Structure 1
Amino acid sequence: MGKSFATPVANADGTFDVAYTVTVLNSGAVNLDGLGLVDDLGTQFGSAFTASTAATTTGGVLTGPAVVLTNTSGNSTAPTANTAGYDGTNALLAGTDGLLAPGDSYAVSFTVRVDPNAAGAPASIANTATASGDDPTGTTVSDASDTDTQPDGTPDTDPNTPDEPTGVPTVVTPNPGGRAECGQILCHACGECGWDL
């Protein structure tokens, strides 16, 4: 299972909007049903994240999860997204429906707001999603996400570290004339942000 994000978008108040995509691939030899996917941002991001659904305009989840199925086999059915109910601490899927045939995948995309400057926020904003499904014998199998744009089992950042948490690059609040360290997002007084490499 791979988890990736688009470049964080800086807001004037020092918060950042981050669009995530979690891609789950059935790399096994049997169908999986009873599909589940949890991404508990509240626990892993601490005070940098405020749990709320997309219906709440004060932060947390800005865009609820949406599912896109890649049904190469013609035998898979998409799980239902928990679009209205996902608050950043519960399941990204609305239940345990859907079926994932070998070689097929589904991707779940959602956008959240994080505040790396919140009191008590962790120094590193990283997290791991967990997917599950039941094989034909009823045995539940699960996998933790890797920092990966492709769910091929090889993390993009370190191929020797499976189940690697996905970290949002360290972010810096707007700082006129200030510089960020290498690899951080640099925000200028005009509100433009870019990578400082």
Structure 2
Amino acid sequence: MGKSFATPVANADGTFDVAYTVTVLNSGAVNLDGLGLVDDLGTQFGSAFTASTAATTTGGVLTGPAVVLTNTSGNSTAPTANTAGYDGTNALLAGTDGLLAPGDSYAVSFTVRVDPNAAGAPASIANTATASGDDPTGTTVSDASDTDTQPDGTPDTDPNTPDEPTGVPTVEPLIAASRL
């Protein structure tokens, strides 16, 4: 499973809007159903994120999750996005529906606001999403996200360290003065 983000957008109040995409690939040999995906930003970002389904001055979900299915096999069905209920601390998917055939994938995109300057905010903001699904025997399998856009189980930043958290770089303001 890969997790990536677009360049954070700096806001005038010092907060940042970050658009994430989590891509889940069934790299196994059997179908997975009962698909789940959790990204608990509230726990992992601390005070830099305020859980809410609407933007606030200190954080929140700006754009709820949207699912795009890549159904190469023709056998997969997309899971339902938790568009109205995702508050940044719970499930990105509405339930445990959907079916993911081997070789197929789905991507979930959402945008949140973070405040790296909030009192008590961690010095480094990083997090990990967790996907799950049930195999044909009913056994639940899960995987934590890697730092990259490829859900191949090997992060681009370090091929020896799977399941590494995805960091959020912030843009430092630049003030320059010149005298003529």
Please confirm whether the aligned pair reaches a TM-score higher than 0.5, indicating the same fold: yes
- Structure 2: tracts of 5 or more residues without a match: 170-179
Q: Cα distance 1:81–1:55, how it changes in 2: closer, same or farther (>3 A)?
A: farther
What is the alpha-carbon distance in structure 1 between the residues aligned to residue 49 and residue 55 of structure 2? 16
Deviations 1:12-56 (A, max 9, x none): 000000000000000000000000000000000000000001477
Look up the match of 1:76.
76
Query: Residues 58 and 118 of structure 2 are in contact (CA less than 8 Å); yes or no, is this contact kept in structure 1?
Result: no
Look up the match of 2:174.
none
92-101 vs 153-162, which moves further = 153-162
Q: Cα distance 1:55–1:113, how it changes in 2: closer, same or farther (>3 A)?
A: closer
Figure out how many residues of one structure are paired with residues of the other and give that number.
Answer: 170
Deviations 1:100-157 (A, max 9, x none): 0000000000000000000000011000000000000000000000001110111011
Query: Residues 54 and 64 of structure 1 are in contact (CA less than 8 Å); yes or no, is this contact kept in structure 2?
Result: no
Query: Residues 39 and 88 of structure 1 are in contact (CA less than 8 Å); yes or no, is this contact kept in structure 2?
Result: yes
Query: Residues 59 and 115 of structure 2 are in contact (CA less than 8 Å); yes or no, is this contact kept in structure 1?
Result: no
Q: CA RMSD in A?
A: 2.4
TM-score by length of 1: 0.84
Q: Cα distance 1:69–1:118, how it changes in 2: closer, same or farther (>3 A)?
A: same
Q: Considering Cα pairs closer than 8 Å and 6+ residues apart, tell me whether 1 or 2 has the greater RCO.
A: 2
Deviations 1:72-104 (A, max 9, x none): 000000000001100000000000000000000
Q: Cα distance 1:56–1:118, how it changes in 2: closer, same or farther (>3 A)?
A: closer
Look up the match of 2:62.
62
19-28 vs 54-63, which moves further = 54-63
What is the alpha-carbon distance in structure 1 between the residues aligned to residue 148 and residue 59 of structure 2? 26
